Every structure is written in C-alpha cells, then in structure tokens.
Amino acid sequence: MNEQYSTYYHSPVGLLKISGTEEFISEVTFHDTSQKAPGNKKHMPPMLINCVEQLIQYFNGQRRVFELPLNQAGTPFQQEVWNLLVTIPFGKTISYLDLARKTGDSKATRAVANANGRNNIAIIVPCHRVIGSNKDLVGYAGGLWRKKWLLEHEMKVAYGVQTLF
C-alpha cells in the first residue's frame, strides 16, 4: 500500500487538509481549527505540493480546471456522481435534479445529494456547484458560507459578476 501524506493550506475559505500519495490526491477537506501536518515532515511528495499550488492558482483566479490524479473510495454510484461533478464547468451550477438525470434516474435526487455530500475532495471535485432546483444554496459539508464564497469567486473570475446568491 502506498504511504499517505497530509499537509494543510490556509485558504481564503479556511484551513484545508490535503492528503494523498506519491501518485494521487485522496482528500481535500475543510478544518475549522489550526493543525500541523502529521507524518513524515522531511518528504512531501510533489503530488501534494502540486495540489497546493493548483489550489493557490484557483483562489488567485488563475486556474479553472484542476489537473491532478484523484482517488477516493466510494460505491460505484458515488464514483459516477463524483465523475459527473468534475464535468460541471467553472462558474456554472447544476441542480441536484439535473445531476440525478445525468445518472439516468431522475428519481435519484436524494441518492445524488448523499453521494455529493460524501465527496472528500472539495473544490477539485466541485460539489459546491450543485444547488437546489429553485436556485437556493442547499447542503454543503464545508458550510453554506463556503459554498456561497466559492460560487461567487467563480462567477467573478468567469463573468465579472460580483454576486448571484
């Protein structure tokens, strides 16, 4: 089994924990308290350094698409939903119902929302781009204020629009 590494990045939306191996990223999660990176401090794999650099570019408005190999454990349905999430364009949103339709089952809205909520690679797998059918901001593991911030950031970078929510 590949050794797991973790680091932390103080982003504009708070502390992010980034974990992965030499080959892939497996976690980008929000943390509300300061923590120090566990594990081997002498060696930080280029994969995690690259991930932090791409996140910095994203927050600086210089990156719209992440180019990182990802690997997170999940059911085949969760994997399908997560793969669909990365196809949502930067600065755009989709409803849970529309996402369910993309899975081939318009009645799977709750299952899609559940899979969305189990995504452990925030921002890079953009679950923040999924909103309610009535355009309301609903459900986000990092908190609705972060979801709003991320969407407004993307709208501003993509279209020069200050706020829509």
- For residue 37, what pLDDT is reported? 47
pLDDT profile of the chain (165 residues), mean per 10: 90 97 97 60 86 98 97 97 97 96 95 96 98 90 94 94 69
Terminal-to-terminal C-alpha distance of the chain:
44
**Angle of the 76-85 helix axis to the 109-117 helix axis, nearest 10:** 80
**How many residues in the chain?**
165
pLDDT at 41: 54
Q: Which residues are catalytic?
A: 127
> Domains along the chain?
5-59 (3.30.160), 76-159 (1.10.10.10)
The DSSP string of the chain is -PPPEEEEEEETTEEEEEEE-SS-EEEEEEESS--PPPS-SS---HHHHHHHHHHHHHHTT--SS----B-----HHHHHHHHHHTTSPTT--EEHHHHHHHTT-TT-HHHHHHHHHT--BTTTS-GGGEE-TTS-----TT-HHHHHHHHHHHHHHHH------
Please count the other Cβ atoms lying within 10 Å of the Cβ belonging to residue 67.
8
- What is the per-residue pLDDT for 139? 84
